[in-house]
Structure 1
Amino acid sequence: MVKKLIGRKLKTSRLKRDKTIQELAEMSHVSSNMISRIERGLTIPSVEILMKLADALGLSLSYFVEEAEKGSTIIHTPSGGGDPIFFFEDKHQITSLLKGLRDPGFSVFIDTLEPYCDSGEGGMVHTGEEFAMVLDGSIDFKIEGREYHLEKGDSLGFKATLPHSWKNNSPQQSRILWIVSPPPNV
């Protein structure tokens, strides 16, 4: 659990500062291979390495471990709440509804998609399962070559190992509830 928490916090902090792994490696004097391993939750860094990374990012050492201490077994997220965790060119915003949950086996997100926003070229493939439900607007999915059009209230569940992509083909913003298992390292 601690490995994944530290890895997520490091990656989030690096991306918020628009730094590549290589740039952080140069700033911190920690190898890019080590930073990559930490971000993927494959290793727990030594205190010395964590101090170098925290210093390079302008953070305190306690930032990386405080969530591990404060992690909860219950997360209440009021309507409109949640923690923004991903933005892409002002077209795609993901808000976590479970941030701070200790050792989750899944993640729950609200994904706000601007008109004509899409998942990019080609199909995504990764481990686990996904569930999407349209809260507002609509979204078009393509899963293993088959197309699905979802409107408000419609949902879709699928194995993420199948090539998949999505697009908001609408001239209006769409909001999608995602449940993803296992939780991605966001």
Structure 2
Amino acid sequence: MIKGLIGKKLKTTRLKNDMTIQELAEKSQVSSNMISRIERGLTIPSVEILVKLANAFGMSINYFVEEAEKGKTVVHTRKGEGEPIFFFEDKHQITSLTQGVRDPSFAVFYDTLENGCTSGEGEMVHSGEEFALVLQGRLGFFIEGEHYQLEEGDSLTFKGSLPHRWENRYDGQTLVMWVVSPAPNVTQ
């Protein structure tokens, strides 16, 4: 659990600072391989490495350790202050609204989709359930071959085990709030 929390915090901080792993490696004098392993929750960094990483961001080592020690039982996220966890080609940005909660059984994401952004060529299948609420724009959804057109204010709830995909064919940005259970591992 500690490995995952430190890794999530490091990745989130790096993305907030608009840095690549290589840029952070150069600034911190920690190898890019080590940074990648930490972000993916594969290793717990030594105190020396954590100090170097914290210094690269102008922070104290406590920034990484305090949250890893306890996690949170309440996460209050103000508008625009969610934790960015995924970016793809300036077309798709996912922001977590539940990052830092201790042992989550679900996750809430705010998703910004540019025109033409899709979930990919193939259909997704996974365990658990999903809920999608379109806050702005439109989203085309395909579940088991059936098409659903979601307009602003529309929502969709479905089993993740059903083959599904989505696409934004709206001329502007589409904003979607997702609730996913169980919480996916977002450190990879």
Residue 73 of structure 1: CA displacement? 1.8
8 Å Cα contact 1:132/1:157 also seen in 2: no
Matched, 1:71 2:67: no
Q: Which runs of 5+ in 2 are unaligned?
A: none
8 Å Cα contact 1:128/1:182 also seen in 2: no
Residue 56 of structure 1: CA displacement? 2.8
8 Å Cα contact 1:128/1:161 also seen in 2: no
Q: Which amino acid aligns with 1:4?
A: G
Segment of structure 1 superposing worse, 4-13 or 167-176:
167-176
Matched ranges for 1:138-177 at <5 A: 138-142=138-142, 147-151=147-151, 152-159=153-160, 162=163, 165-177=165-177
Query: How big is each residue's C-alpha offset from its partner over 1:16-47, in whole Å with a ceiling of 9 and x where there is no partner?
Result: 33333233333333233222121011221110
Q: 1:2 to 1:132 in 2, by over 3 A?
A: same
Q: 1:161 to 1:145 in 2, by over 3 A?
A: closer
8 Å Cα contact 1:107/1:184 also seen in 2: no
Q: 1:74 to 1:63 in 2, by over 3 A?
A: closer
Query: How big is each residue's C-alpha offset from its partner over 1:49-108, in whole Å with a ceiling of 9 and x where there is no partner?
Result: 111222233332111123235632233557x46524256676544343223311213210
8 Å Cα contact 1:6/1:39 also seen in 2: yes
SS state of the match for residue 166, structure 1?
Answer: strand
8 Å Cα contact 1:133/1:178 also seen in 2: yes
CA distance in 1 between partners of 2:161 and 2:61 (Å):
36
Q: 1:67 to 1:117 in 2, by over 3 A?
A: farther
CA distance in 2 between partners of 1:161 and 1:8 (Å):
29
Percent of residue pairs bearing the same amino acid type: 57
TM-score with structure 2 length normalisation? Answer: 0.74
CA distance in 2 between partners of 1:6 and 1:108 (Å):
20
CA distance in 2 between partners of 1:77 and 1:97 (Å):
6
| RMSD between superposed Cα atoms in Å | 3.2
- 2:118 is aligned to 119
TM-score with structure 1 length normalisation? Answer: 0.75
Matched, 1:83 2:82: yes
SS state of the match for residue 132, structure 2?
Answer: strand
Residue 121 of structure 1: CA displacement? 5.0
Query: How big is each residue's C-alpha offset from its partner over 1:132-151, in whole Å with a ceiling of 9 and x where there is no partner?
Result: 23234320134576543223
CA distance in 1 between partners of 2:123 and 2:60 (Å):
36
